[in-house]
Amino acid sequence: MDNPHRARFERDGYYIAANVLHQDLVDRLNALGDHILAQQDPEHFAQHKTTGSMVLIDWAMTCDHPAMAELVAHPNMLSVLDRLGFDQPKFGHGRIISKPPHSPPLFWHEDGRFWNDPVSYTTQPIQVFLMYYLTDTTPQNGCLRVVPGSHRKRHPLHDRISPRHTKELAAYENPDDPGFSRVDDEIDVPVKAGDLVIGYGNLLHASHANQSAERRTVLTMWYYPDFTNLPERTRATIVAAEGHNSHFTAAAPQTRAMLAPLKIEYDGDAEPIEIESVPGPAFK
Ligand SMILES: O=C(O)CCC(=O)C(=O)O
C-alpha cells in the first residue's frame, strides 16, 4: 500500500479531515437542519431519543435545497476522498441526527448491511459514512466514539450488543443495555464544526450523551466511495438498496449538473444479494 492515508483508513476504519466546510455553509446547513427538525412531530423525537432525530436526507431533499446539494457534491470532500484513492464516489442518502440539550448517549452499533456479500470481509469499502458535525464536539456535548479496527476484526462488543437497531435502543428504554457500556479500546472523536469524519459503515461507533445546554447536530451522509470498482453483484445490490432517484430529473439544471457524477447507476442484469445486517461466521 503506497498511499499512507488509505492505509490508515483501512487499518483504523475511520479518517478525519479538518476544515472541509466553510463556516458559511455550516451556518446554512444548521439553519436548514433546524427548519426541517421543526417540521417533525413530537412522536419522532420520542422514538429517537438516543440519536435525537433520524430524518432522512434523500435525493429529493438534496435537489430541493441548494445547501444540501452543495454538501453532497462538495469539492473539498471530493478531494479528501480522492486523497484516499476514491475518485468516483457515489451518494446514497443521509440523515439529520440532532441531539437536543441534555439527551442520552447513542448505543454502540455498526451500520453494515451487506454482510452476505464477500466484499464486506475485505478492506474494500462498500458503504462509508461521511459525518459533518455542525457544532464543535467534545465528550461533554456528545462527540462520536469509535472502536478502531472493529470494521475488519470481531470485537467482544459484537457478541454483547443487539445486532440490529431496535425500537427499545432508539427510545433509550434500558440505560443498562450493553449498547450503552464503555469499552477499554474505544476512543473519542471530538471535531470542529465543518470537519469531516469518514468511516466504514461496519465500524463500531456510538456517541456520548449531550450534557450541554446546546443542540448538537450531525449530518451523516452515506456514500459508496469505490462503487465503480465493486463487483457487479455488489453494484446491483446497492442499486436495489438505495432505490431510484426519480426526483433528480425535476432538479434545476445547475443542480443536476453538480450532482450527476454522484448518482448511483447500474443497468446490468446481475442478481442483487440479500441485505444482511449481522456479520457472519467469516468475520473473526
Ligand atoms: O450522533 C452521532 O454522533 C453518530 C451518528 C451515528 O452513529 C450514525 O449516523 O450512524
Reported as a single tens digit per residue, the pLDDT across 181-190 is: 999 999 999 9
Which atom number of ligand 1 is nearest to the Cα of residue 111?
Answer: 10
Map out the domains of the chain as residue ranges: 4-262
CB of 186 within 6 A of ligand 1: the answer is: no
Whether the per-residue pLDDT at 30 is higher than 80: the answer is yes
Q: Other CB atoms closer than 10 Å to residue 6's CB: what's the count? A: 16
Which residue would you say has higher pLDDT here, 228 or 244? 228
Percentage of residues in the chain having pLDDT higher than 70: 100
In the prediction, which pLDDT does 248 show?
Answer: 81
Rounded Cα distance between 284 and 247, Å, is 41
Rounded Cα distance between 259 and 248, Å, is 9
Pocket-testing residue among 14, 50, 97, ligand 1, by greatest number of atoms within 8 A of Cβ:
97
Mean per-residue pLDDT over the chain, rounded: 96
Which residue lies with its CA nearest to atom 8 of ligand 1? Answer: 220
In the prediction, which pLDDT does 163 show?
Answer: 79
2 CA to middle of ligand 1, Å? Answer: 31
Q: What is the mean pLDDT of residues 55-78?
A: 97
172 CA to middle of ligand 1, Å? Answer: 15
Residue matched to cell numbers 445486517: 277
Eight-class DSSP state of 105: P
Whether the per-residue pLDDT at 1 is higher than 70: the answer is no
Q: What values do phi and psi take at 221, rounded to 5?
A: -110, 125
In the prediction, which pLDDT does 133 show?
Answer: 98
In the prediction, which pLDDT does 247 show?
Answer: 80
Please give the C-alpha separations between residue 14 and each of 8, 20, 151, 220, 282, in angstroms, as whole numbers. 8, 16, 9, 14, 22
Which atom number of ligand 1 is nearest to the Cα of residue 99?
Answer: 1
- Sign of torsion over alpha carbons 112, 115, 121, 125: negative
Pocket-testing residue among 207, 208, 211, 216, ligand 1, by greatest number of atoms within 8 A of Cβ:
207
In the prediction, which pLDDT does 182 show?
Answer: 96
Per the CB < 8 A criterion, the answer to whether 91 and 205 are in contact is: no
Per the CB < 8 A criterion, the answer to whether 137 and 144 are in contact is: yes
48 CA to middle of ligand 1, Å? Answer: 12
Q: What is the mean pLDDT of residues 116-120?
A: 98
In b/e form, how buried is each residue of 227-255, taking b as 16+ CB within 10 angstroms?
Answer: beebeebbbbbbbebbeebeebeebeeeb
Indicate the SS3 state at residue 73.
Answer: coil
194: left (phi over 0), alpha (psi -120 to 50) or beta: left
Burial class (CB in 10 A: 0-12, 13-18, 19+), 198: buried
46 CA to middle of ligand 1, Å? Answer: 17
Which atom number of ligand 1 is nearest to the Cα of residue 206?
Answer: 7
Confidence grade of residue 197 (pLDDT, cut at 50, 70, 90): very high
Instruction: Give pTM, 2 decimals.
Output: 0.97
CB of 144 within 6 A of ligand 1: the answer is: yes
Name the nearest CA neighbour of 214 among 146, 144, 140. 140
Confidence grade of residue 250 (pLDDT, cut at 50, 70, 90): confident
- The two beta strands, 216-224 and 90-99, are antiparallel
207 CA to middle of ligand 1, Å? Answer: 7
Which atom number of ligand 1 is nearest to the Cα of residue 109?
Answer: 7
Question: Could you read off the pLDDT of 207-226 as tens digits, one per residue?
Answer: 999 999 999 999 999 999 99
Provide the greatest CA pair distance for the chain: 52
In the prediction, which pLDDT does 243 show?
Answer: 79
Fold held by 4-262: Jelly Rolls (2.60.120)
Q: Which three cell numbers stand for residue 36?
A: 426541517
Q: Which three cell numbers stand for residue 33?
A: 437542519
Question: Could you read off the pLDDT of 35-52 as tens digits, one per residue?
Answer: 999 999 999 999 999 999
Indicate the SS3 state at residue 99.
Answer: strand
The DSSP bridge partners found for residue 96 are 55, 219
74: left (phi over 0), alpha (psi -120 to 50) or beta: beta
| Amino acid identity, position 102 | H
The DSSP bridge partners found for residue 146 are 187, 205
Question: Could you read off the pLDDT of 2-29 as tens digits, one per residue?
Answer: 999 999 999 999 999 999 999 999 999 9
